[in-house]
Amino acid sequence: MPDRLGPRFAEPMFGKLTIIGFGLIGSSIARAARARNAAGAIVACDHSDEARARIGQLNLADEIHALPEKAVAGADLVILCTPVGACGAIAEAIGPHLQSGAIVSDVGSVKGAVVSACASHIPARAHFIPAHPVAGTEQSGPDAGFATLFLNRWCIVTPPEGADVDAVEKLAAFWRALGSNVEFMTPAHHDLVLAITSHVPHLIAYNIVGTADDLEQVTESEVIKFSAGGFRDFTRIAASDPTMWRDVFLNNKDAVLEILGRFTEDLSALQRMIRWGDGEGLFKLFTRTRAIRRSIIESGQESPAPNFGRNAKADE
Amino acid sequence: MPDRLGPRFAEPMFGKLTIIGFGLIGSSIARAARARNAAGAIVACDHSDEARARIGQLNLADEIHALPEKAVAGADLVILCTPVGACGAIAEAIGPHLQSGAIVSDVGSVKGAVVSACASHIPARAHFIPAHPVAGTEQSGPDAGFATLFLNRWCIVTPPEGADVDAVEKLAAFWRALGSNVEFMTPAHHDLVLAITSHVPHLIAYNIVGTADDLEQVTESEVIKFSAGGFRDFTRIAASDPTMWRDVFLNNKDAVLEILGRFTEDLSALQRMIRWGDGEGLFKLFTRTRAIRRSIIESGQESPAPNFGRNAKADE
C-alpha cells in the first residue's frame, strides 16, 4: 500500500479546477491536486471572509472568490465541497456560468438528495457526476486540510444514468491521482452503505455524549476525568462539524432511519441479555465483532496500533 | 502534566507484590512497579500456560505461579487483575493464605459486585480495598502491557466502610507512584460513573458492529472498505476482550440498564428530529457535544491531534 502521493504529472489533468467550499475536504483536494500537478490552476471559493483570508495567507489557490458564479468561469472541473444542504443553491447559481464540457462534481456524504437538488440546474453542455471521498478528520476549516487525506481511502462515484463515459473516467482518474481507490455505485446504494459505516455511528456518538451531558447523578467533571474508559473515542466523532452533520441527517433520512431501526432492535436484544444474565449470548457477539476489526486492519483502512491508549507506548 | 514516570524509589513501597491475572493491566502494573522500584519482588500468577511462558520469556516477574493460593504467600500487596467474574473464587482461594497486614485490591471495571463477591472471603487480618485504574487499550495479554499505561490516568479507589486508613493511603500512594491520579468513591457511584463513561459506550460499539455484520443489503466487504467514515472507531472499542466485557455487563446490570434507558430515550428523540426534519434541534445537540470534547482535551485525557485521520498528517 503506497505511503505517499505519486510523482507530479508532466501535464496537468485539468486546466482549471474550481473548489467551492474550502474547508477540510476542499483544502485537502487543493493541496493534493497541487502536489501532483493535477490542475493547471486552482480557484478557491468560500463565502466566509475569514476562510478566504486564510486561503490567501496559506497560498492554497491561484484565485480566490466569494461568489460561486464568478469562481466557475473557465473551469474544467468544479467540485462542490460545502455541506450537502448548500449544494442545490450553488448548482443553481453556477449553472448558467459553466463552460461547455465542464465536469461538476461534489464530495457530499449523501448522494440521492444531492443529485435531486443539483441535477436539474446543470445545463446539458456540462457533466454532472457526483462523488464522495470517504475520508476526513473531526477538524474543520482550510487549516485542517492535508495533501494525503485521500491516500488509500475510497472515493465512491455515482454517475447518473447516461452519464458521459469519458467524463466519468476523467473524474475517476482525478481521484486516483489524489491517492484514492475508486468504486462506482448507485446513489441509493451509496446512501445505505454510508448510513451504516458513517451516519448512524456519528448519530449514536452524538447521542451518547448528549446523554452523558444530561446526567444529574454524574457530574461533567467526572465524565471528563474518566473518559479514558471508552467515552473519549465517541467525543472525537461527536466533535465533527455540526452544519455538515445536520445536513447529512436531513438529507439521508430514509437510509438513516432504516439502519437506526435495526440498531435499536439489536440493542434491545442486548439489553435483554444483560437483564436476564445471558453471558453466553454476550460473549458470542463480543467475539464476532473482533473478527471485523481484523479485516479492517488487514484491508489497510486502520492501523493495529493500540490507539485506545493514544500511542502512549511511544512515550515509554 | 508529566510525560514519564518518576524516578526509582530508594526503598520499595511494598516488599512483595503479587499480581493475579497477568494480562494488559496486570503486566502493565508489573512493568510500572519495576520501573519505579515500587515493589521489592513481583510475583506473577496466571492460569494460562501460554501466559506464564510469556511472562518468563519477557522476564516480567521474580516468581511465576499457576495457583493463586501459592502466589500470595508472604505478599504485602495482592492485586487481582482477572475479569471481574473470576474475583470471588480467587478471593475464596487466597483468603486462608494471606499474611497478616496484607492489602488485597483489584482493578475491576465494576466495584459493587466485586465487593459483594470478595469481601467475606478476605480474613480480618488483611485489608480489602478495591480499586479501578481507568486506563487500557483494546489489546490483551502479557505482551500488550506497558509501563506508562497509567500515567496521567485516574485510579478510582472504593474503600469499604471502616477500612484501615493507613492501608488505603498506602494503596493510593502505590497508584500515584505508577503515574495515576487517585479519586475516592463509593462502589455504587463508581459503577454509575463507569456505566456512562465506559460500559454503555462499549455496549453500543459492540452493537453497531453487530448490526453492520448482519445487514443483507450491504456486504461485509463494503463495510470494511468504507469504514473510514466513522465506523472504524467503533470497531476498535468492539475489539476489546470478550470475557472481560461479558463479566462487566453481567456484574453492573443495574447501572448499565439505567444509563441504557436514558441513551435509548435520547436516541428516540434524535430519531424523531430526523424524521420530522428538525434541523435546529440536531444542530443544537451537535454543537453542544463539541464543548465536551474540548474539556476532555484540556484536562489531558485526550490529544487534540486529528486522530480520526489516523495521524495521516505525519506521513505528509
Closest by CA position to A290, among listed B143, B145, B214, B241: B241
Total-model pTM: 0.86
| Residue B66 main-chain phi, psi, to 5 deg | -95, -30
pLDDT range class, residue B237, cuts 50, 70, 90: confident
pLDDT range class, residue A309, cuts 50, 70, 90: very low
Q: How far is CA B73 from CA B18, B25, B31, B206, in A?
A: 9, 22, 21, 40
pLDDT given for residue A303 in this prediction: 66
Q: Determine the 3-state secondary structure of A218 from DSSP.
A: coil
| Cα distance between residue B178 and residue A275, in whole Å | 37
Instruction: Evaluate whether B143 touches B117 at the Cβ level (below 8 Å).
Output: no
Mean pLDDT, chain A, rounded, equals 92
Instruction: Evaluate whether A194 touches A113 at the Cβ level (below 8 Å).
Output: no
pLDDT given for residue B303 in this prediction: 66
Q: Which segment, A240-249, B66-75, B208-217, is predicted with the most confidence on average?
A: B66-75
CB of A272 within 8 Å of a chain B CB? The answer is: no
Following DSSP, what letter does each residue of A143-166 receive, concatenated? GG--TTTTTT-EEEE-PPTT--HH
From the number of C-beta atoms within 10 Å of its C-beta (0-12, 13-18, 19+), residue B145 rates as: buried
Interface of A with B in 174-213 (CB under 8 A): 181, 183, 189, 192-194, 196-213
pLDDT range class, residue B305, cuts 50, 70, 90: low
| Cα distance between residue B13 and residue B32, in whole Å | 13
Closest by CA position to A140, among listed B140, B308, B253, B105: B308
pLDDT above 80 (res B312): no
B182: left (phi over 0), alpha (psi -120 to 50) or beta: beta
Nearest to B210 among A211, A285, A313 (CB): A285
| Cα distance between residue A37 and residue A40, in whole Å | 7
For an interface test with B, which of A178, A248, A282 has the most B Cβ atoms less than 10 Å from its Cβ?
A: A282
Which positions in chain A touch B213 (Cβ < 8 Å)?
288-289, 292
Mean pLDDT, chain B, rounded, equals 92
CA distance A304 to chain B (A): 9
pLDDT in tens, A65-96: 999 999 999 999 999 999 999 999 999 999 99
pLDDT in tens, B91-149: 999 999 999 999 999 999 999 998 999 999 999 999 999 999 999 887 889 999 999 99
ipTM of the complex: 0.86
pLDDT given for residue A305 in this prediction: 64
pLDDT in tens, A131-161: 999 998 878 899 999 999 999 999 999 999 9
pLDDT above 70 (res A218): yes
pLDDT range class, residue A275, cuts 50, 70, 90: very high
pLDDT above 80 (res B302): no
Radius of gyration (Cα) for chain A, nearest Å? 21
CA distance A218 to chain B (A): 6
Instruction: Evaluate whether B104 touches B76 at the Cβ level (below 8 Å).
Output: no
| Cα distance between residue B148 and residue B32, in whole Å | 7
Closest by CA position to A131, among listed A79, A73, A59, A72: A79
Among the residue ranges A105-109, A151-155, A233-237, B92-96, the one predicted with the least confidence is: A233-237
pLDDT above 70 (res B306): no
All domains in chain A, ordered by first residue: 14-185 (3.40.50.720), 189-301 (1.10.3660.10)
CB of B227 within 8 Å of a chain A CB? The answer is: yes
Q: Do B204 and A202 touch (CB under 8 A)?
A: no
| Cα distance between residue B223 and residue A307, in whole Å | 21
pLDDT given for residue A205 in this prediction: 92
CB of A19 within 8 Å of a chain B CB? The answer is: no
Q: Name which residue leads in pLDDT, A114 or B57.
A: B57
Dihedral (CA of B220, B223, B225, B231) sign: negative
CB of B152 within 8 Å of a chain A CB? The answer is: no
Instruction: Evaluate whether B307 touches B236 at the Cβ level (below 8 Å).
Output: no
Q: Name which residue leads in pLDDT, A239 or B29.
A: B29
- Taking every pair of C-alpha atoms in chain A, what is the biggest distance, in angstroms? 67
- The DSSP code for A315 is G
pLDDT given for residue A87 in this prediction: 96
